[in-house]
Each structure stands twice: as C-alpha cells, then as structure tokens.
Structure 1
Amino acid sequence: MSMLEQLTHRDRVFDFLAPVASPVDVRHGPILYMEGVNVSFDGFKAINNLNLTVDDGELRCIIGPNGAGKTTMMDIITGKTRPDTGSVWFGSRHNLLTKNEPDIASLGIGRKFQKPTVFEALTVFENLELAMATDKRILPTLTAIMKPEYRDRIDEVLQTIGLQKLRDKLAGILSHGQKQWLEIGMLLMQKPRLLLVDEPVAGMTEQEMERTAELLTSLAGKQSVVVVEHDMGFVRSIARQVTVLHQGSVLAEGTMDQVSNDPEVIKVYLGEEE
C-alpha cells in the first residue's frame, strides 16, 4: 500500500479507537510555541519558517514524507539542535533556546526515540525505579530507601503501561512492543508535561499497535503528547489534530480527514512536482 493510500485508508484494525471528539482540556493555552524557526545544515534548509503551537494536554500527530523536518523539529525542542532564527517557548515562561538538553529535560520535556533503550539486565520494576525523578548523585542513590510514595508511583506507571504482571521479569525478555511501553513508562516516572514520541509502532504486531494506541490516548490530558509516525492507520486511530510537515514547514493542519483530503498534501504524498 502506498503512503497516499495509507493516508486515506480507514484501517479496520483501529476503527474501534477512532476518536469522535477530543476530551482534552486545552483552556490553559499552549504548552509548546514555535515561531519563525529556521535551521540550515551545510546550505540545506532542514527547517523553513516553522510555526507550530501545541496546547496543554493535547495529543498531536506529526506526519510528513522523509526529509520533512520531523526529527530536526524534535531536536530543536529538546535542545539537541539550535535554530538559526526563531522562537521556541515551553509554556509562557521558558525560552528553550536559552537552555541545554539536561535543563530542558528537567523542565518536563521527555523524548522517546524509535529504538527502545531499556536496561535489559534489570527487571521492569528496577528500570522504572532507576528512571524515577529523584536525586541521581552517587551517594543519595546508594543510600536511597524505597519510600511508599515511590513504590506507589511505580505501581501507577506499571498499571498505565500494562506491565504489572511482568514487574519482576528482566527487561531483556520483553517483546519489542513491551520494551517500547517500558521506555514510555520510564519517561512517565519523570512526570513530564510534554512527551515527544518518535515512531512508536515501528516493528510492532497489530495487537501491540492497538495497545500502544490505547496507551497514548490515555496519556492525553495528563500530559501533552506529540507523536511522529509514518503508519497512517495508527495515526488515524489516535489523532485529534494532525500537522503535516513538508520541506521544513507546516503544509497543512487539521483533523485526519481534513489533511488527507487537502490537495497540497495529496500532491506531496504522490510525489508530484510543484
């Protein structure tokens, strides 16, 4: 199936999850604000006057062909890449362009890469314990006592990611999908306000994809979630608002039906010359 066919195809695997309306409270304004952002690498303009706003508690899907600027956009938000020009704000107080990667993470921005990175020699519980947002200096870590509230937090996250029964299993024996959920859980342990998720269902079975859709939609409202994904059936199953990137800027925005019927979006996915 071509990318355009994926864009317009209603995948019956996910029909039961397709949202009718967003239950997310966005009355408190944007959590992420990007305006006039430009980035060039050796003369190639990876980001071109990008303007993007994500509301507090929103679930936003970002789609676009290869080279559209999706990864660079996330690199900018997390401080890995500095733009040449533009503004990037987290809420109304934090100018992300003045902060480094650790500072941005400590503000409450978590990023999950496509390939899961968990500690396979540790149990699921121990992975979550290690990821907890506590003092990570050597002495406090060695002398730390598992407080009841910490255990409660781990139990809560285990419930959210659906790995309660595997809490004492080594992470190395988990399936690909379960490792993805565990890594999302490790980010949740840090109580992020904004979660950036890169291609979460790549390599998953259909059953794992369904569970991932349920997980991400359950997070909306508690966190703001930005999902970059190529699987259009999956995007349609979770999307309230979709942003289409092309050549480093926003080509279209709206519901999945709106963007999939946009003539410019169709032209891009067909690969026609402008």
Structure 2
Amino acid sequence: MSSMNDGRIALQGLDTTHGAILYLEEISVVFDGFRALNKLSLDISVGELRCIIGPNGAGKTTMMDVITGKTRPTSGTAFFGQTMDLSRMSEHEIAHAGIGRKFQRPTVFEQHTVFENLELAMKMDKRVRPTLFARLSSEQRGKIDEILKLIRLNGSEQRLAGLLSHGQKQWLEIGMLLMQEPQLILLDEPVAGMSDAETARTAELLNELRGKHSIMVVEHDMGFVAEIAQQGVVTVLHEGSVLAQGRMDEVQADDRVIEVYLGR
C-alpha cells in the first residue's frame, strides 16, 4: 500500500461500522539505542474519544508520530481501519486517508481571516488553477458556517486570525482539521495555555464531536481530561508502553499511575 492509488482503494474499503479504526500492535521505536516506544499495543474504536496521559518522555508524541507517518516503527504493526498499513504509507497518504493531527502550538494563517483559513483548509482540489478560479458553492459555504458555529467563532469570520486569542486560534485550527473531513483526529495538549473559560468551552466542543469522529487527545490537564473522558477509556503511557487503562476513576486509583505520574 505504498502508492496513492493503493491508499484510495483501501479508503473505499474502510469498515467504519464497527470495531477499531486504529490498531497498534507491539509498536517499538528505537532512536540510537533509546527505546521511545516499547511494544506498545492499543486500539481506538470508531467514534471513540480516547484520552492519553502519562509523564514527559512516556512516548505520547512518538506514538502520534508513528500514526501520522512522521516516524517509522522499528517493529510492530499500525493499521487504520481494516486494511491500511500505516507503516507503508507516506505522511501525505495518511492525511489523505483521513487522519488529521493538531500540534500543541496553533498554526493558522495569521494574515488571513477566520473564514479564509477555513476556506483554505477545505477538502477540495488544491491545484493552482481550480484554486484561483474557485467559487464556493452554497453547500461549501454552509459547511464553513457549520464549522464556525461549532468552534464558537461565528460572528468573527472576517476577523484576522492573528488577532484571535490563544484559545480561539486553537479552535480555528481544530475547525481547519474538520474542514478536511477526517475520520481520526489527533490532538496534542489542546488546552495548553488556555484560560479556564476557554478550557471549559474546548471540553464542550470535543464532547460535541464525540461519536462523529474518532478522537485521540494527549493532555496533562487532569481536570480537562475528566470533563471529556466521561465513561470512556483513559490510557496511561509510561516508558513507551501502556501502564494502565480504564475509566478515569479507575486510572486515578491505580497505585502504579499514582507512583509514576499523578503523585499522592
């Protein structure tokens, strides 16, 4: 599955009616003798919102790098859906297949308006000529309006992105990801640097997305994790593998998690 055509064929056969949309089995990543991931195994169900926590150096970022093709695993397998072997796909092919990633620092086009940022991110033909002469259809405008409401930026669509608050920039970038119509969204510390009010609104946003997209959230803010985890699964990474997994209350009561991460 090394070509773009192969990626498209696999996407058509992606089974999203049940089971896991992401499946990692015994993934190891070794950098110059350092084992960043150590036989890591986990799976994410279709429509699930999964929270990933753990101390610095636990392997959270490396795991996301493997999923998006930025880092190749030393060993193990990573599948998206039933058929796509992520280890055989490029970063571009993986993004095209339906995996979107948001890094901790927001990266928006600051000299463009909120509306223009969403328009530029829209899933469409990005070749020069179609882009230059494109006119948005009513359906496309409706999609942007829908995302604007969802990310709490309706009424700010003509504002320059560079003038937004830190939290609003984070929401805009999430909106830009949603314009790509991803099936799996990876969010790296989405509330870092946010005010309490912005953090609460981000929790509301992710809870609204639950079930419509499969979402993996890497986060250190335990209050925020509690808001979005609800009765879902929280996975704790430590030294490159899964230390514990379960509901938030179960994880918080686990002596191993308390010792290496939460403290007493």
TM-score, normalisation: structure 1? 0.88
CA offsets 1:122-178 (integer angstroms, 9 cap, x no match) = 110000000001011111111111111110110111111110010111111100000
Tell me how far apart the structure 2 counterparts of residues 180 and 107 of structure 1 sit (CA, whole Å): 23
Answer yes or no: is 1:254 the counterpart of 2:243: no
Structure 1 residues 133 and 225 mapped into 2: Cα distance closer, same or farther (>3 Å)? same
Which of 218, 222, 231 is matched with 2:221 structurally?
231
Unaligned runs of 5+ in 2: 1-15
Which of 170, 173, 178 is matched with 1:188 structurally?
178
Give, as a single letter, the amino acid of the residue that structure 2 aligns with 1:138: V
Which of 200, 205, 227 is matched with 1:215 structurally?
205
Tell me how far apart the structure 1 counterparts of residues 125 and 17 of structure 2 sit (CA, whole Å): 33
Show the counterpart of 2:256.
264
Tell me how far apart the structure 1 counterparts of residues 31 and 187 of structure 2 sit (CA, whole Å): 24
Answer yes or no: is 1:95 the counterpart of 2:82: no
Show the counterpart of 1:69.
59
Show the counterpart of 2:23.
33
TM-score, normalisation: structure 2? 0.92
CA offsets 1:216-261 (integer angstroms, 9 cap, x no match) = 1111100001000001111111112100000000000001100111
What SS does the corresponding residue of 1:214 show, helix, strand or coil?
helix
Give 1:107 deviation, angstroms.
0.5
Answer yes or no: is 1:173 the counterpart of 2:163: yes
Answer yes or no: is 1:129 the counterpart of 2:139: no
What SS does the corresponding residue of 2:135 show, helix, strand or coil?
coil
RMSD of the TM alignment (CA)?
1.3
CA offsets 1:31-61 (integer angstroms, 9 cap, x no match) = 0000010000010000000001000000000
More relative contact order, 1 or 2 (CA 8 Å, 6+ apart): 1
Q: Sequence identity of aligned pairs in percent?
A: 64
What SS does the corresponding residue of 2:155 show, helix, strand or coil?
helix
What SS does the corresponding residue of 1:166 show, helix, strand or coil?
coil
Tell me how far apart the structure 1 counterparts of residues 192 and 131 of structure 2 sit (CA, whole Å): 34
Give, as a single letter, the amino acid of the residue that structure 1 aligns with 2:178: L
Which of 81, 84, 88 is matched with 2:74 structurally?
84
Give, as a single letter, the amino acid of the residue that structure 2 aligns with 1:127: N
Answer yes or no: is 1:50 the counterpart of 2:40: yes
Tell me how far apart the structure 2 counterparts of residues 222 and 86 of structure 1 sit (CA, whole Å): 29
CA offsets 1:171-207 (integer angstroms, 9 cap, x no match) = 1110000000000000000000000000011110000
Give 1:270 deviation, angstroms.
6.2
Which of 136, 155, 167 is matched with 2:145 structurally?
155
Tell me how far apart the structure 2 counterparts of residues 92 and 181 of structure 1 sit (CA, whole Å): 31
Matched residues, number: 247
Give, as a single letter, the amino acid of the residue that structure 2 aligns with 1:238: I
What SS does the corresponding residue of 1:164 show, helix, strand or coil?
coil
